A and B are shown apart, each in its own frame.
Chain A
Amino acid sequence: MVPFTILTAPACPLGLENVDTDQLIPARFMQTPRAQGYGGFLLHDLRRTESGSMRVEFVLNDPRYAAAAVMIARNNFGCGSSREAAVYVLADAGFRCVLAPGFGDIFTSNAIQNGLLPARVAACDIESLLHDPSVLAGAPITIDLMEQSVSSGDKTFAFDLRADFRQRLLNGWDTVDMTRSYAKDIEAFLVRDLAARPWRDPVR
């Protein structure tokens, strides 16, 4: 995984609340193998009309945000189903960070697994970003993971992220390799746990 340190890019002021993962990618696209790329499915039904043409008035289709790598949303972003495809659509469409006051729990861990930063920004600061003329004009903002800050022009806001998630993004760690380094602890656990919970394994 590519480590995440500093990102400077335009931000898409999506501004919606409760963007559930069914909106991020409708279920009907989820059979697609990942190799084909998921970017085109991002917010598909909001982005397109019935006939499949782009809705010009939808913010994601605004040419000012064509190079956006940051999404700004209101509360409870990524709530709903656990589909990791909701992160694939963002990552494959070039997004590396979402700013919102709160996120669905599973969405957050899925984002981390894929190097996408789910940064929790206070609701009032989100409002300020969503009304910032330079953000709206498509000027780049900077996300600094070391400093845990978002800056636009001369304004800087703090963001929240769990310490372990921050470490993982900064280092670009592979979790499977990390877990394998705990093989001895796992073995020891299994021995002491069997004494404590002799009923833990399924009966056949």
Chain B
Amino acid sequence: MGANPQTIIDKLWDAHVIATRDDGDCLLWVDRHFVHEGSHHGFGQVRERSAMIARPDLTFGTADHYVATRRGAIQDQDCVRMVRQLTQNCAEHGIVCFGDGDPSQGIAHVVAPELGLTLPGLLIVCGDSHTSTHGALGAYAFGIGASEVAHVLMTQCVWQSRPRRMRVRIDGTTGPGVGAKDIAMALIAKYGTGYAQGCAIEYTGAVVRALSVEGRLTLCNLSIESGSRLGLVAPDDKTIAYLRRAPYAPQGEAFARAAQDWLALASDDDAHFDHEISLDAAEIAPIVTWGVSPEQAAPIDSHVPDPARLSDPAKAEAWRDALEYMGLQAGQKISDIRIDRAFIGSCTNSRIEDLRAAAAILKDRKSRVPGLVSPGSRLVQQQAEGEGLDRIFIAAGFEWGGPGCSMCVGMNGDVVPAGERCASTTNRNFKGRQGKGSRTHLMSPSMVAAAAVAGRLCDVRELMRESV
């Protein structure tokens, strides 16, 4: 190793620094900028200044937040207008846009990795907090706000200060029924939603190495729920294999050179991290949230916790409030909680592997509640249909929808009605997130499938045993 061992976070940071100000703030080059319907505030600011877009060739649009995802649903005119506005803004500025109906359309954080727009070593921004997802391929990717969107549109640069570096190590072997979602949720449940505030995370350890690229995308997606703007995984052979032949990735000789550079991004052996935390995979059981913050989660085979046991009065109050909103009793068995509907989708869990995992549980079974599946992109949808997964979902009683954010945030009208309880593969169980008064339980795709079959929160491992 050289005299100055570096983490992957430092390597990526240094490669993008254009200038450093006296106060430590750095001007960074942005390699890719993804815009969606919600970016209209940013475009509006550009218009107010009568400014030009600096690099339309590095900017890509995709319709996701407001796009209709249920066949035959009557679309709200405001949603139609939001989608049209994105297409128009992109057309006006010469930006490639995967708009409604485009064969590559889908959720930005699903589309960009699968098209090879996301590559290791790139700095990626998007006006969306789950931009952390792209870190799974070894990119430095984070969400920005509307003023920053406008700034990136006009300059292709972003001001940032160097984050503290945190290594999250997950070692051991996961048990049956435990996947990337359970790992990410277990981390947040153990360390809290603020544990990585101000930090960039590198996820390492045997479990992370063993995860597929899809699994890593799920893990990095939830980084924002730990207070961090970004989490990443060093590129390895799986990363390279995932990107080979992706349409926007370098091709042939150029790919070989790039792959060499990408593998060299890994943290040096003795590189220093400001913080280190770890988790033993053997401790992780399939996990679900019971409250209104992702940290309010517990293993499926446990009980709803009792706020009276907490010594911190503010936290106890927050727990009581969560239980009241969720309509739950302290001490109740988690697997006794009945659900009203199920949702499989979102940038957390709508990739082909997620759909396969859910379909494996639903095969030859029936859902007791209405359910919706929204594949993350047209490409995922096509692949799933090619594998016959859509027929499994439909036979189980699920609705097979189109790609978009859908019921993750309910902006397109796909909402969970007030007071109803939804088993969901999404990332936020905030009050009203899936619609006013909605109650969300976050879990993995196979756990949502199991819950749908049981009509209550259910340990997927029971159904896995039955299937054998």
Contacts and interface: CB of A to CB of B under 8 A. Distances in A.
Interface of A: 15-18, 20, 22-23, 26-28, 30-31, 33-34, 45, 50, 74-76, 79-85, 87, 102-106, 109-110, 113-114, 162-164, 167, 175-176, 179-180, 182, 185-186, 189-190, 193, 196-204
* Interface size classification for chain B: 35 or more
B251 interface: yes
Given A79-B193, A105-B227, 14 more contacts: A82-B129, A82-B143, A84-B146, A106-B129, A113-B147, A162-B161, A164-B23, A176-B51, A176-B151, A176-B155, A185-B27, A199-B254, A202-B58, A203-B251
A169 B248 CA distance: 40
A163 B20 CA distance: 13
Given A82-B143, A110-B145, A200-B31, A31 B21 contact: no
Given A79-B227, A87-B145, A197-B261, A20 B428 contact: yes
Interface in B111-147: 116-117, 119, 121-122, 127-129, 131, 142-147
A27 B410 contact: yes
A82 B261 contact: no
Contacts of B151: 175-176, 179
B249 interface: yes
B425 to A, nearest CB: 17
Nearest to B198: A105
A109 B148 contact: yes
Given A18-B318, A26-B436, A45-B432, A106 B24 contact: no
Contacts of A114: 147
B229 A105 contact: yes
Contact of A199 (B51, B81, B145, B257): B257
Given A45-B436, A197-B261, A203 B247 contact: yes
A76 B15 contact: no
B228 A34 contact: no
Contact of B127 (A82, A167, A186, A203): A82
Contacts of B333: none
Interface string B22-61: 0111010101100000100100100001010000011000
Contacts of A83: 38, 145-146
Give me the 5 closest cross-chain CB pairs, A-B, nearest first.
A110-B145, A199-B258, A113-B147, A164-B25, A84-B145
Contacts of A85: 41, 146
Given A76-B227, A167-B23, A175-B159, A102 B197 contact: yes
Contacts of B249: 203
Contacts of B23: 163-164, 167
B223 to A, nearest CB: 11
Contact of B194 (A22, A102, A162): A102
Given A110-B147, A182-B27, A202-B57, A176 B49 contact: yes
16 contacts: A17-B314, A22-B431, A30-B38, A33-B44, A85-B146, A105-B227, A106-B229, A110-B145, A162-B161, A175-B151, A182-B19, A186-B18, A186-B27, A197-B121, A199-B258, A203-B249
B250 interface: yes
Contacts of B25: 164
A83 B24 CA distance: 26
Given A164-B24, A164-B161, A81 B129 contact: yes
